[in-house]
Amino acid sequence: MAVSGIGVDLVEIQRMRFMLEKWGERFYQKVFTAEEIAYCQSRSRPYFSFAARFAAKEAFAKALGTGIGEACGWKDVFVRVNAAGSPEIGLSGRLRERLSGRRVFLSLSHTQSMAIAMVVIEDGSSGEA
């Protein structure tokens, strides 16, 4: 398998807190899915989870090579927790079609002040001749 894209993004947790407090529901609804909002709000430190998910969306868009915009909207990519408790990328129908046959890997981490996400997109070919 060959890597077709890598993206990384770093978000200041206090900046995310400021954005969420300033814009409230309008910001939540523009950027996050209902499932992401529910998950983050259930956490003891919701701003950490929101910041990590925001970083994941940005990192994915960078790995895709489009950035956030028409080709990849805020809610076209989302973070969910799998059965093992690990975060993974979920995609809307149009992106799921576009990335058919590819695998998407996500890693999230944070400190007291920063959240980071790294995304790797692997294509479906073996890369061997």
- Domain of residue 113, CATH code: 3.90.470.20
Which parts of the chain sit beneath pLDDT 70?
A: 125-129
Q: Is residue 107 part of a domain?
A: yes
What's the rounded Cα separation, in Å, for the pair 120 and 62? Answer: 10
- State residue 125's pLDDT score: 61
Which residues are designated catalytic?
A: 62, 110
What's the rounded Cα separation, in Å, for the pair 97 and 82? Answer: 21
Q: Is residue 128 part of a domain?
A: no
Domain coverage including residue 36: 3-122
Q: Is residue 115 part of a domain?
A: yes
Which sign, positive or negative, has the C-alpha torsion 97, 40, 61, 83? negative
| Secondary structure (3-state) at 122 | strand
pTM recorded for the entire structure: 0.91
Q: Is residue 33 part of a domain?
A: yes
Q: Is residue 129 part of a domain?
A: no
What's the rounded Cα separation, in Å, for the pair 129 and 127? Answer: 7
Q: Is residue 116 part of a domain?
A: yes
For the chain, how many structural domains are there in total? 1
Which of these, 68, 3, 13, lies nearest to 40 by C-alpha position?
13
Query: Taking a C-beta distance cutoff of 8 angstroms, is the pair 90, 46 a contact?
Result: no
- State residue 93's pLDDT score: 83
- State residue 94's pLDDT score: 86
Q: Is residue 98 part of a domain?
A: yes
Q: Is residue 44 part of a domain?
A: yes
User: What distance lies between CA 104 and its chain's CA centroid?
Assistant: 11
- State residue 128's pLDDT score: 45
